[in-house]
Amino acid sequence: MAAFGRTQLLKLAQMSSMSLNGAGSATRTMGAGQLGLGDSQKRFKSKTSRLAKILPKAKYGGRHTVTMLPGGGIGPELMGYVREVFRYAGVPVDFEEVNINPNTEGNEDLEYAITSIRRNGVALKGNIETKSLSPNVMSRNVALRNELDLFVNVIHCLSYAGVPSRQKDIDVYLIRQNTEGEYAMLEHESVYGVVECLKIVTRENSERLARYAFDFAKKHGRKKVTTIHKANIMKTSDGLFLEISRQIAKEYPDIQHNDMIIDNCCMQLVSNPHQFDVMLMTNLYGSIVSNVICGLMGGAGLLSGRNYGTEYAIFEPGTRNTGTSIAGKNIANPISMMNAAADLLHHLRLENHSVWLREAIDQTINVDKIHTPDLGGQATSMDVVKNIVNYLQAKTKVENW
C-alpha cells in the first residue's frame, strides 16, 4: 500500500467508478514496483453517456417499454415464461429485447443495451456471458452496472414455507455495493509471476451505500443493520467501508448497528441466520453471502435481485446464475425470474399486477407445491408457469380485468 501514492489511489478509485474506456485510460507496461495496470485497465465507457440525462423514459399510450436482456444459459427460456405470464395477466408492458453476443470482443451490443436501458429506464435481465478471456474485455454484467451507475444491489431473502430447506423463516435484506470493491477488474502483472488485483473502496460510494441501507431499514421498519467486512486484514479498504458505516449509523439512532467479519458471518448464517435483519457489505462479500443464504433457503432458483442507481434499475435473479448445464431441459426453476418480474412491476407502479404475481408464486410454491428438481420436486418449468398463469387468469376474471 505504501508504494501507492494517495493521488494514484484516488485516480484508480475514479477509474473504477467512472469505468474509463481504452481511449481514456492509458494502456501501459510498467516495471517492477510501479503501478503497471497494463491492458486490464482498459475500461468500457458508452458513447451515449453524455446523452443520458436528456433522454426521456419511453412510455407509449400508457404502456411501459422495458429492456429485456435474456443473457445465456437458462436466461432466454426464463424470459419466454415472463412474456407468457405477462400476456395472460394483461400486463401493459412491451419488451425491447437486446441480445449481447457472448463471443464478441466488440462493444456494439453492449452499447445498444445501454442506450436501450437509458431510453426505457429499466431492464429485466438474465446472466450475460462474456466468453473472451482477454483482460481487455470486461464482464458485460459488470460493465452494465458500472456504466449505469447501479451502485446498490438489494436482495430480499425471505423463506418459502413450502420449500424443504436447511433453515426456515429467514427474512433478511442484503444491501450490496455493486460497482467497485473486488469487482473493479483492475488486475496486472507487475513483474513476471507476480499478479496484483486491486480492490477499490471509495468514500463516496461507501457513504451513499451506507445511507441507502439505513434509509432502507428506516423505511421498511427494520431494526438492525450489520456491516460485513474483513477490516482485521484489509485494514485500509474494508476499514474505510466499516468506518463510514459507523459514521452514518450515528445519524440513525433508532436503528441498531453492529458489524461482523465475513468468515464469522458465513458461520453465523448457517447456524443462526435469524440474528440478521439488514446486511450491508462490499461487492464480493455480497456475492458470497447471497449464495450462502440461497443455499440455506432452497437454492439458486428462488430469489430475485434488484440493482438501483439514481436514474436506472435492473431486475434479475438474485444469485446471477447462467445455469448452462440445465438450459433447454424444461427443468430450470422459473421462480427467481418471476420474482424479478414482480419487482419490475412494483417499480413501474403496476401494483395490482405485482401483488397478483407474488400471490401466484406463493400459491404455486407454498400451497400447490409445484416444485422443480432443484427444490426436490418433479415438476417441469412449464408446470410451474402453467400454475402461475392459471392463478392469474382466475384472479383477473374476479377482478374484472
Residue 231 or 303: which CB sits closer to ligand ATP? 303
CB of 263 to ligand ATP, least distance (A): 22
Q: Tell me the C-alpha to C-alpha distance, in Å, between residue 231 and each of 191, 228, 237, 331.
A: 28, 9, 7, 42
Residue 149 or 316: which CB sits closer to ligand ATP? 316
Residue 65 or 372: which CB sits closer to ligand ATP? 372
CB of 362 to ligand ATP, least distance (A): 18
CB of 14 to ligand ATP, least distance (A): 31
Give Dmax over CA atoms of the chain in angstroms. 72
C-alpha distance across the termini of the chain, in Å = 62
CA angle centred on 299, ends 294 and 300, rounded to 5°? 85
Q: In this structure, are strands 63-69 and 59-60 parallel, antiparallel, or unpaired?
A: antiparallel
Residue 326 or 370: which CB sits closer to ligand ATP? 326
| Euclidean distance between CA atoms 114 and 369, whole angstroms | 39
| Euclidean distance between CA atoms 148 and 130, whole angstroms | 18
Residue 101 or 268: which CB sits closer to ligand ATP? 101
CB of 116 to ligand ATP, least distance (A): 24
Identify the residue whose cell numbers are 477509474.
15
Cβ neighbours of residue 393 closer than 8 Å, sequence gap 6 or more = 88, 89
Residue 81 or 356: which CB sits closer to ligand ATP? 81
Q: Where are the beta strands (DSSP E) in 108-192?
A: 122-125, 152-158, 171-177, 181-191
CB of 126 to ligand ATP, least distance (A): 10
Residue 24 or 376: which CB sits closer to ligand ATP? 376
CB of 385 to ligand ATP, least distance (A): 12
| Euclidean distance between CA atoms 165 and 268, whole angstroms | 17
Residue 301 or 305: which CB sits closer to ligand ATP? 301
CB of 319 to ligand ATP, least distance (A): 7
Closest CA to 301 of 284, 285, 322: 322
What's the full length of the chain, in residues? 401
3-state DSSP assignment of residue 238: helix
3-state DSSP assignment of residue 315: strand
CB of 94 to ligand ATP, least distance (A): 25
What is the contact surface with ligand ATP in residues (CB under 6 A)? 73-74, 300-301, 321-326, 332-333, 336, 374
